[in-house]
Amino acid sequence: MVEKIQQITVLGATGSIGSSTLSVIEQHSERYKVFALTANTRVDDLLSLCLKFKPAYAVVASEAAALKLQAQLVDTQVLHGAEGLDFVAAHPQVDMVMAAIVGAAGLAPTLAGVKAGKKILLANKEALVMTGALFMQEVKKSGAILLPIDSEHNAIFQSLPANYQQGLQQIGVRRILLTASGGPFRQRDPDTFSDITPEQACKHPNWSMGRKISVDSATLMNKGLELIEACWLFDAKPSQIEVVVHPQSVIHSMVDYVDGSVLAQLGNPDMRTPIAQAMAWPQRITSGVQPLDIFQIARFDFYQPDEQVFPCLRLARKAFELGGTAPAVLNAANEIAVAAFLDEKISFTQIPQLIDAVLQQVSIAQADSLAAVLQADKQARDAAHQWLMEY
Ligand code: NDP
Ligand code: MG
């Protein structure tokens, strides 16, 4: 049987996940066609991608940038702003949406794709952290297929049975082992953490990623966000998820069953594996990733994370336990803190200080509407900016 070519919108096409996605698409042009590509500021990069992939649509931030880009493109219609992003995420011709915009900016278009019932390849963990309950309700309501791209969650998904949505207890899961590389400062003397530079923080030992998630990995906030992400995706309680530092980043996470079996997914640390897995699911396709050389890796190490040295993990756990809009507040404060650190306005150790202060200051509400979440996001950003002016 000849299968229909799948049309894909890549939100955040110019980023690290965007480029890994396009690499997989390029290897399978008989299965996938790019419907739309989006970027924020890297418009020249988007132009090159449009010339290569000839999408029907491209989306950039401003009208001025859209006009400039349109003048250089014949086969692609250029849109701009939030409406443009929503349009290409929900368009009737789209089969799959790769949600790979970084941060809260990705929430609205990802939700637009969810509401339109698309197959959603979710890299943008911040969207789920901010709106967990609402997001999952919308997935159920629309019948969207939600597939995790985050390597750990993709590994958990692969290690669970197809009927995992019945609940972890019903399928005999004791706990989820969420692995973490530990980041670049796992072995660094904590007394020197305030000297850490943005360049050092962005140099991840195993993964090549965008700057924001690289800093999140260095503070372990990434693992905190992922803990929350896993709770929503797999309907787990935080007590059912154990964070395990595994510096080799070869085991991407594990599921521990009541009979003593522990299932894991392994692979080289290259995001094209989870991307290809989710794109082709339930089939398998090549991704361009080198086969795992188990003899070269030779050993696996495991440690418990140190939440005293890396308080962001503890703060994320606390925000999830507080519930309501607290995870949205945590996420917004973290986005401002990371941007300030990358701009060399605050030190590495001030990242958790800022987040903690904002979490204590902003009042937590029910996260029962998108408006409530967006209001919490704004209040947290305002409080974070205030902290930056006063500290
Ligand atoms: P990058 O910074 O490399 O790319 C981000 C993309 O989002 C770019 O295309 C960027 O456009 C676009 N973007 C940024 N801000 C906006 C905005 N305000 N409006 C519209 N578009 C915007 O990030 P990554 O690819 O590393 O990460 C993307 C997401 O995937 C994040 O949520 C991250 O946590 C998640 N993820 C990433 C992994 C990785 O290996 N990189 C692994 C697991 C999850 P422009 O280029 O024009 O600035
Ligand atoms: Mg991850």
Check: CB of residue 372 under 8 Å from CB of residue 365.
Answer: yes
The sign of the torsion formed by the CA atoms of 269, 9, 154, 188 equals positive
Low-confidence ranges of the chain (pLDDT < 50): none
pLDDT of 207: 85
Ligand closest to Cα of 153 equals 2
- Whether 213 lines ligand 1, by a CB cut-off of 6 Å, is yes
pLDDT of 391: 85
Per-residue HEC secondary structure of the chain comes to CCCCCEEEEEECCCCHHHHHHHHHHHHCCCCEEEEEEECCCCHHHHHHHHHHHCCCEEEECCHHHHHHHHCCCCCCEEEEHHHHHHHHHHCCCCCEEEECCCCHHHHHHHHHHHHCCCEEEECCHHHHHHHHHHHHHHHHHHCCEEEECCHHHHHHHHHCCCCHHHCCCCCCEEEEEEEECCCCCCCCCHHHHHHCCHHHHCCCCCCCCCHHHHHHHHHCHHHHHHHHHHHHHHCCCHHHEEEEECCCCCEEEEEEECCCCEEEEECCCCCHHHHHHHHHCCCCCCCCCCCCCHHHHCCCCCECCCCCCCHHHHHHHHHHHHCCCHHHHHHHHHHHHHHHHHCCCCCCCHHHHHHHHHHHHCCCCCCCCHHHHHHHHHHHHHHHHHHHHHC
Ligand 2 centre distance from Cα of residue 217 (Å):
9
Which ligand 1 atom is at minimum distance from the Cα of 271? Answer: 40
Ligand closest to Cα of 99 equals 1
CATH architecture of 323-391: Orthogonal Bundle (1.10)
* CA–CA distance, 71 with 73 (Å, rounded to integer): 6
pLDDT digits (tens, 9 = 90+) for 171-209: 999 999 999 999 999 999 999 999 999 999 999 888 889
* CA–CA distance, 374 with 328 (Å, rounded to integer): 8
| Cα distances (Å, whole numbers) of residue 251 to 35, 79, 195, 236, 262 | 33, 41, 31, 20, 12
- Beta strand 241-245 with 145-148 is unpaired
Enter the tokens of residue 153: 């969650």
The CATH superfamily of 6-148 is NAD(P)-binding Rossmann-like Domain (3.40.50.720)
Among 19, 213, 336, name the best residue to mutate to test ligand 1's pocket (greatest count of ligand atoms within 8 A of Cβ). Answer: 213
pLDDT of 2: 58
- Whether 126 lines ligand 1, by a CB cut-off of 6 Å, is yes
pLDDT of 1: 53
* pTM greater than 0.95: yes
**Taking the chain, what is the end-to-end CA distance rounded to the nearest angstrom?**
64
Q: By alpha-carbon position, which residue is closest to atom 9 of ligand 1?
A: 12
pLDDT of 205: 86
For the chain, the maximum distance between any two Cα atoms, rounded to a whole number of angstroms, is 65
- Whether 202 lines ligand 1, by a CB cut-off of 6 Å, is no
* CA–CA distance, 209 with 16 (Å, rounded to integer): 6
Check: CB of residue 65 under 8 Å from CB of residue 73.
Answer: no
* CA–CA distance, 271 with 289 (Å, rounded to integer): 9
- Whether 379 lines ligand 1, by a CB cut-off of 6 Å, is no
- The domain limits of the chain are 6-148, 323-391
